[in-house]
Structure 1
Amino acid sequence: MSSESRGFELPLRLLLAFRVLVDELHGELARQGHPDVRPMHGYVFQAIGPDGTTAADLGRRLGVSKQAAGKTIDTLERLGYVERATDPHDARRKIVRLTGRGVECLALSARIFERLRADWARTLGEDRLREIEDDLRRVTPGEPFLLDTPGWFGTS
Structure 2
Amino acid sequence: MQNSEAMALSTALLAAAGELTKRIHAGVVARGFEGLRPAHGFAFARLAPDGATATDLAAHLGVTKQAAGQLVDEMVRKGYVERRPHPVDARARLVVLTERGWACTRAAEEAAAEAVRPWAELLGEEGTGRLRAQLTRLAPHGPLRPVW
Query: Larger Rg: 1 or 2?
Result: 1
Tell me the distance in 2 between the aligned counterparts of 1:92 and 1:13.
45
User: TM-score normalized by structure 2?
Assistant: 0.84
User: TM-score normalized by structure 1?
Assistant: 0.80
Q: Which residue of 1 aligns with 2:119?
A: 120
**Structure with bigger RCO (C-alpha 8 Å, 6+ apart):** 2
Q: Which residue of 1 aligns with 2:62?
A: 63
Amino acid at match of 1:27: A
Tell me the distance in 1 between the aligned counterparts of 2:24 and 2:64.
27
Q: How big is the shift at 1:90? A: 4.6
Tell me the distance in 2 between the aligned counterparts of 1:141 and 1:55.
24
Superposed CA offset, 1:15-36 (max 9, x none): 1101111111111111111122
Q: How big is the shift at 1:110? A: 1.4
Tell me the distance in 1 between the aligned counterparts of 2:92 and 2:17.
36
Tell me the distance in 2 between the aligned counterparts of 1:18 and 1:83.
29
Tell me the distance in 1 between the aligned counterparts of 2:49 and 2:128.
30
Count of residue correspondences = 145
Q: How big is the shift at 1:63? A: 2.1
Tell me the distance in 1 between the aligned counterparts of 2:34 and 2:13.
26
Consecutive unaligned residues in structure 2, runs of 5 or more: none
CA RMSD of aligned residues (A): 2.1
**Between Structure 1 and Structure 2, which shows a larger proportion of helix residues?**
2
**Judging changes above 3 Å, is the alpha-carbon distance between structure 1 residues 131 and 54 closer, same or farther for their aligned structure 2 residues?**
closer
- Identity rate, percent: 37
